[in-house]
Amino acid sequence: MSLSVNTPVIETERLVLRAPKLSDFEPFLAFMQSDRARFVRRAEIDRDTGWRAFAHVAGMWMLRGYGSFIFSARDDDHPLGMAGPWHPITWPEREIGWALWAPEAEGNGLAFEAARAARDFARETLGWDAAVSYIDPQNARSIALAERLGAVLDPAAQTPGGEPCLTYRHPMTEARD
């Protein structure tokens, strides 16, 4: 059962980006409780807090009309991660966010493919003319991905919360390559 009936499905060369489903919760929780999520969460989380975080992901679609897509390989519905337009109410700007949940999916461009599709969706479908990615200064993989997407560091940008954060500004007016 899908948690959002209005979430579009996007297919790329290798991926399907879709709405969060209840069956995605366990892989999400496993990611959030792993060291892989150290740049995504501020503290260790238990099952209850993980559920609330997952509900936040799903609820963004209902409240904003957009949010993170769960992405999987085209031939397998097992979630590999999430990517999408993101804008909590307290954040200064709209974001293109991503997280690769599955370690076996690293190093083959899947996060790039998903993030680019999500950014294209924000630009082409939502009409966004500006978007950033907020990245922990120690998250070298996400910094490299943002730069591969053509995003440029904006040291003057306002950041959310009190945590150290770099803001990468995406090119939103360029046609997709």
Encode pLDDT of 99-140 as tens digits.
999 999 999 999 999 999 999 999 999 999 999 999 999 999
- Residue 150 belongs to a domain: no
Residue 177 has pLDDT above 70, yes or no: no
- Residue 135 belongs to a domain: no
The more confidently predicted of residues 42 and 148 is 148
- Residue 133 belongs to a domain: no
pLDDT of residue 175: 53
Q: Residue 2: pLDDT band by 50, 70, 90 thresholds?
A: very low
- Size of the chain, expressed as the number of residues it contains: 177
Q: Is 85:105 a contact under the CB 8 Å cutoff?
A: no
- Residue 115 belongs to a domain: yes
pLDDT of residue 14: 97
How many separate domains does the chain show? Answer: 1
Residues paired with residue 82 on neighbouring β-strands, in sequence order = 70, 99
Q: Which residue has the tokens 């740049």?
A: 39
- Residue 118 belongs to a domain: yes
Residue 3 has pLDDT above 60, yes or no: no
Distance (Å, whole) CA 82 – CA 68: 6
pLDDT of residue 20: 96
- Residue 144 belongs to a domain: no
In which domain, by residue range, is 25 found?
A: 10-128
Tens digit of pLDDT for each residue in 35-94?
Answer: 999 998 878 899 999 999 999 999 999 999 999 999 999 999 999 999 999 999 999 999
pLDDT of residue 162: 74
- Residue 73 belongs to a domain: yes
CATH number of the domain where residue 84 is located = 3.40.630.30
Q: What is the DSSP letter of 132?
A: E
Distance (Å, whole) CA 28 – CA 63: 21
Q: What is the DSSP letter of 82?
A: E
- Residue 105 belongs to a domain: yes
